[in-house]
Amino acid sequence: MSSLTVERLDQWVSVQAARRPWAGAVVLSGERLTYSQLDGASNRLARCLIASGCRAGDRVALLMPKSPAAIACIVGIYKAGCIYVPLDPAGPARRLGTILHSCEPGWIVAAGPVGGILDELFQDEQIREGTRVGWLGSDRVEGRQIGAEHWTPALPDFPDAPVDVPTRGRDLAHIFYTSGSTGAPKGVMITHDNVMHFVEWAVRHFGVRPGDRISGHSPLHFDLSMFDIFGTFAAGGELYLVPPELNIQPAKLAEFIRTSALTQWFSVPSILNYMAKFDVVRFRDFPALRRLLWCGEVCPTPALIYWMRRLPHVTFTNLYGPTETTIASSHYTLPGCPTDETAAVPIGTACPGEELVILSDELRPVPAGTVGEVCIRGVGLSPGYWRDPERTDAAFIPDPQRADPGGRLYRTGDLARLGEDGLVYFLGRKDSQIKSRGYRIELGEVETAVRTLDGVADCAVVAIGTEGFEGALICCAYVPRPGKEVSAARLRGALSEMLPGYMLPFRWMAFDALPTNANGKVDRRWLKETFQASRERETQAHR
């Protein structure tokens, strides 16, 4: 069944609530909301926000673990005509504070064990002055240091009748913050139209329909979660949120897919790789599963062969695209299981309404087979970075191939070539952006943070490839300040107050001075080789 045409993302929920109110919409560990309950809960939140002064276009941050209630909040924020900003509840308060300073939300909707983070955030005068906290649940246990004037009225006091806030598809739906190379996270603005274009195509293309049981694996601060959530609601399926703690228990993750009888699985490849390494998938496992999709990084071909051999009844699709062009911009469904472990899986062809072009440094198309930068045009393009015209202009450029004014091209920084088969093959990055455990990380952001640590005179951060689940390990070479004794453990501890766990260097090495190459630049290649060699020595010693 094709998706329903709506003008705003939340309307899919209301339409499904009218059509199949009793049908399950979202579930997590026995906690389930039907479409009718989801519609009602999101109406209540929208009314609560509006009653506490929230107006269309205001930013509302969400700080809570992934749960049916969190999904109801996202829908409620949209119903109030507001812009949703997800905050990672596992992130350090300092980084969350930087995000709040950037997008200045008037409200933080919070739940779960986030009281400590809220208290820390509210020590900041600007945040305290400008923000109110809405909470879910019966009692206000969160944020002990937050004065009564900062709380919104209690949610249960509001009726669940629909609200009527006029907003349009071209209005902003959310801002997703991604790692920024200069130290500050970048806020990618995404409109309702951006998401609806992708979701409508994907639901049609993959044949998502009522009765589908769809994984909700991505954390809510990843843009992939938008496809999980709204792909499900557009089709009238049921979203099975994957408990995050299962990510480190591959056998339980497999059991989750089995017992939930999922029909669609969508995750970053590191999870597929991890499950393959632990050999937790049986032959013809997951009989209900129809499609398996991944996005965000390269899926190693041996892992893919592992999955495809075991699940001959499933179709496997590689989706590619950065947050800046909304969820994914190209797709490739494998016609059959690869026979060669060293063969690359293409990122395929552009999704309808989008175009992938491969350009030289001079922004001219390169011939097929030649390596160039992937640039994307079309309906997925974000309007740019929130309140950051400089970075917006650098990444979203006037389209050199288009005469029409306003035509824009997003420079991904990804390297690729067009194959003779007409498919695009991903080859790596032009810069120092990496993926580790599926997280997009600018090594520059890590480096900037390390530089601020007491006792560090200089540093360089590099990443080395691994065969493991992480995909890449972050390594830091640093020069201690004269007279300062700094241990890696102390630096890591201090850094963890600034950066989330997945951004912390795994290996540290002290140097009297950073090594330089013939051009006088920091010799990152040598550093990488040195970290790699030290890791190999340790691995050998443990055998």
Asked if residue 303 binds ligand AMP (CB under 6 A), the reply is: no
Rounded (5°) CA angle 182-184-188:
105
Return the number of the residue (178 or 267) whose C-beta is nearest ligand AMP.
178
Q: How many Å apart are CA 428 and CA 450, to the nearest integer?
A: 25
Contacting residue, 68, 322, 346, 378, with ligand AMP by CB under 6 A: 322
Alpha-helix runs per DSSP H in 122-240 = 125-130, 192-206, 224-235
CB of 295 to ligand AMP, least distance (A): 5
Q: How many Å apart are CA 186 and CA 391, to the nearest integer?
A: 9
Contacting residue, 114, 190, 272, 347, with ligand AMP by CB under 6 A: 347
Contacting residue, 318, 392, 436, 448, with ligand AMP by CB under 6 A: 318
Return the number of the residue (77 or 319) whose C-beta is nearest ligand AMP.
319
CB of 412 to ligand AMP, least distance (A): 5
Contacting residue, 39, 297, 354, 523, with ligand AMP by CB under 6 A: 297
User: Candidates 103-111, 197-205, 212-220, 316-324 — which segment interacts with ligand AMP by CB under 6 A?
Assistant: 316-324
Asked if residue 440 binds ligand AMP (CB under 6 A), the reply is: yes
For 171-304, list the strands marked E by DSSP: 172-178, 186-191, 213-216, 238-241, 264-267, 291-295
Return the number of the residue (54 or 347) whose C-beta is nearest ligand AMP.
347
As separate numbers, helices (DSSP H) first and strands (DSSP E) second, the chain gives: 15, 26
Q: How many Å apart are CA 366 and CA 427, to the nearest integer?
A: 15
Return the number of the residue (16 or 325) whose C-beta is nearest ligand AMP.
325
Return the number of the residue (82 or 293) whose C-beta is nearest ligand AMP.
293
User: Candidates 59-67, 293-301, 355-363, 479-487 — which segment interacts with ligand AMP by CB under 6 A?
Assistant: 293-301
CB of 153 to ligand AMP, least distance (A): 37
Count of C-beta atoms within a 10 Å radius of residue 183: 17
Name residue 265's beta-bridge partners: 292
Return the number of the residue (36 or 102) whose C-beta is nearest ligand AMP.
102
- 408-427: contacts with ligand AMP (CB under 6 A): 412, 414, 426
* Binding residues for ligand AMP, total number by CB under 6 A: 18
User: Candidates 249-257, 312-320, 509-517, 534-542 — which segment interacts with ligand AMP by CB under 6 A?
Assistant: 312-320
Q: How many Å apart are CA 315 and CA 28, to the nearest integer?
A: 25
HEC letters along 37-89:
HHHHHHHHHHHHHHHCCCCCCCEEEEECCCCHHHHHHHHHHHHCCCEEEECCC
- Name the phi and psi angles at 40, rounded to 5: -65, -45
Contacting residue, 296, 378, 384, 505, with ligand AMP by CB under 6 A: 296
- Token match 């194959």: residue? 419
Return the number of the residue (105 or 185) whose C-beta is nearest ligand AMP.
185
Q: Of 423, 443, 419, 447, which Cα lies nearest the Cα of 433?
A: 443
CB of 361 to ligand AMP, least distance (A): 17
Contacting residue, 11, 131, 178, 215, with ligand AMP by CB under 6 A: 178
Return the number of the residue (8 or 437) whose C-beta is nearest ligand AMP.
437
Identity of residue 412: T
In terms of residues, how long is the chain?
543
CB of 49 to ligand AMP, least distance (A): 28
Q: Of 438, 412, 390, 442, which Cα lies nearest the Cα of 324?
A: 412
CB of 435 to ligand AMP, least distance (A): 6
Q: Measure Cα distances from 297 to 155, 329, 413, 428, 436 in Å.
A: 40, 13, 14, 10, 9
Name residue 434's beta-bridge partners: 441
Pairing of the two strands 372-378 and 408-418: antiparallel
- Where along the sequence are the contacts to ligand AMP (CB under 6 A)? 178, 295-298, 318-323, 347, 412, 414, 426, 429, 435, 440
